[in-house]
């Protein structure tokens, strides 16, 4: 494996990590506020479809991004209604949202475009184009650092940079603002937050809305940047991998980035190599596919440091009367 191949695999790692990272941070906001969300997958899928559909119709990827985000926010609102207002089971609500998105996207896609549940391929302004960072061309021929800068850091779509900037932003919001303190408190001890005169319901809706926003960007990235258009079930379990990364990172922002990069690397390697030959021993591609899930189970089992979820997670808050 030469230097250029490594760069290419890492480059593909960054592109594949981006949707995972956005969805993972989305889940982080929601779960830190005590709302379990296994509907990340569905929200991403809905956003992917609506962003691709609107981008295909209008030719503007930004309108697509907006539409995708709105679709994701609507599903978030539904999740909030079920799990905050009506104090239903958050897990069941998440399952319902995943199926709703899986069914509705194909139904609407078939109705609008008649192409077997996909959108037309996006061209020109309908897609996010790669950005070339300053001096990338000029520095290209510098040994070692040149290719790293040109291939690895420069040349991604703007959403990739947004996703990675979201990591410090999330850290800052969670740990350095009053909003973040309250958000974390609502997930640990909602009664205390309520006693302090802060609306638990309001905080949780805010968290769920941020989750919807980030899932919307993640979905739009999938359909308008990573690929050119929507195909049926295109999220392909990424929402669940993001959930796995969130647990792997023990609900912390920087660690989330690490986990998403790791899982992205696994996807990139599986995509490029299929079966990996290590001397006489062959690692089948299925092992690479299953590895994120296996790692998560191991982490959850507490054999490598225990993953403890926010204490009030999954519990609807009932104000005392």
CB-CB contact of 23 with 216 (8 Å): no
Residue with tokens 């994120």: 292
Report the nearest approach of other proteins to the CB of residue 86 (Å): 4
State which of residues 59, 120, 146, 309 lies at the interface with other proteins (CB under 8 A).
Answer: 309
Kindly indicate which of the ranges 108-116, 152-160, 190-198, 252-260 contains the residues binding other proteins, using the contact rule CB under 8 A. 108-116
Q: Does 121 bind other proteins (CB under 8 A)?
A: no
The CA distance from 59 to 195, in Å, is 50
Report the nearest approach of other proteins to the CB of residue 238 (Å): 11
Kindly indicate which of the ranges 63-71, 150-158, 256-264, 289-297 contains the residues binding other proteins, using the contact rule CB under 8 A. 289-297
The CA distance from 105 to 94, in Å, is 16
Nearer of residues 222 and 244 to other proteins, judged by Cβ: 244
Report the nearest approach of other proteins to the CB of residue 12 (Å): 21
Q: Does 83 bind other proteins (CB under 8 A)?
A: yes
Report the nearest approach of other proteins to the CB of residue 304 (Å): 12
State which of residues 3, 60, 103, 140 lies at the interface with other proteins (CB under 8 A).
Answer: 103
Tell me which residues in 5-24 interact with other proteins (CB under 8 A): none
Tell me which residues in 228-247 interact with other proteins (CB under 8 A): 237, 240, 243-244, 247
Inter-CA distances, 27 with 35, 72, 201, 252, 303, Å: 9, 13, 18, 11, 24
Report the nearest approach of other proteins to the CB of residue 168 (Å): 27
The CA distance from 167 to 25, in Å, is 8
User: Cα 265 to the chain's mean position, in Å?
Assistant: 15
Q: Where are the alpha helices (DSSP H) in the chain?
A: 3-32, 40-58, 61-80, 90-113, 145-147, 158-176, 178-188, 190-195, 200-221, 238-248, 253-273, 285-300
The CA distance from 213 to 118, in Å, is 23
CB-CB contact of 94 with 31 (8 Å): no
Q: Does 289 bind other proteins (CB under 8 A)?
A: yes
* Distance from the first to the final alpha carbon of the chain: 66
Report the nearest approach of other proteins to the CB of residue 134 (Å): 41
Q: Does 286 bind other proteins (CB under 8 A)?
A: yes
State which of residues 104, 133, 152, 181 lies at the interface with other proteins (CB under 8 A).
Answer: 104
Report the nearest approach of other proteins to the CB of residue 88 (Å): 4
Please provide the size of the chain in residues: 321
Residues in Cβ contact with 237 at an 8 Å cutoff, skipping those fewer than 6 apart: 41
State which of residues 123, 191, 192, 297 lies at the interface with other proteins (CB under 8 A).
Answer: 297
Minimal CA–CA distance to 51: which of 40, 62, 65, 41? 65
Q: Does 106 bind other proteins (CB under 8 A)?
A: yes
Kindly indicate which of the ranges 7-15, 54-62, 206-214, 283-291 contains the residues binding other proteins, using the contact rule CB under 8 A. 283-291
Binding positions for other proteins, rule: CB under 8 A: 38, 78, 81-83, 86-93, 95-100, 102-104, 106-108, 110-111, 117, 237, 240, 243-244, 247, 284, 286-287, 289-290, 293-294, 296-297, 300-302, 309
């Amino acid at each position: 494996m030469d230097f250029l191949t490594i760069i290419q695999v890492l480059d593909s790692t960054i592109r594949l990590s981006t949707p995972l990272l956005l969805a993972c941070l989305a889940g982080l906001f929601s779960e830190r506020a005590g709302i379990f969300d296994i509907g990340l997958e569905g929200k991403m899928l809905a956003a992917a479809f609506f962003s691709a559909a609107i981008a295909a119709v209008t030719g503007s990827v930004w309108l697509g991004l907006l539409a995708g985000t709105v679709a994701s926010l609507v599903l978030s609102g539904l999740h909030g209604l079920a799990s905050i207002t009506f104090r239903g089971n958050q897990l069941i609500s998440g399952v319902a949202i995943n199926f709703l998105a899986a069914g509705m996207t194909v139904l609407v896609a078939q109705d609008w475009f008649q192409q077997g549940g996909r959108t037309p391929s996006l061209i020109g302004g309908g897609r996010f184009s790669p950005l070339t960072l300053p001096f990338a061309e000029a520095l290209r021929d510098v040994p070692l650092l040149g290719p790293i800068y040109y291939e690895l850091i420069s040349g991604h779509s703007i959403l990739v940079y947004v996703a990675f900037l979201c990591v410090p932003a999330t850290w800052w919001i969670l740990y350095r603002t009053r909003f973040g303190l309250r958000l974390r408190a609502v997930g640990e001890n909602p009664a205390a937050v309520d006693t302090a005169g802060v609306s638990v319901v309001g905080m949780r809706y805010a968290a769920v809305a941020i989750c919807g926003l980030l899932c919307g960007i993640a979905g739009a990235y999938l359909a308008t940047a990573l690929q050119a258009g929507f195909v049926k079930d295109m999220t392909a379990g990424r929402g669940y991998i993001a959930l796995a990364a969130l647990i792997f990172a023990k609900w912390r922002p920087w660690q989330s980035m690490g986990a998403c990069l790791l899982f992205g690397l696994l996807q990139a390697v599986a995509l490029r190599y299929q079966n990996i030959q290590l001397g006489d021993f062959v690692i089948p591609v299925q092992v690479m596919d299953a590895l994120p899930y296996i790692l998560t189970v191991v982490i959850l089992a507490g054999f490598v440091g225990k993953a403890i979820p926010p204490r009030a997670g999954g519990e609807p808050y009932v104000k005392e009367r």
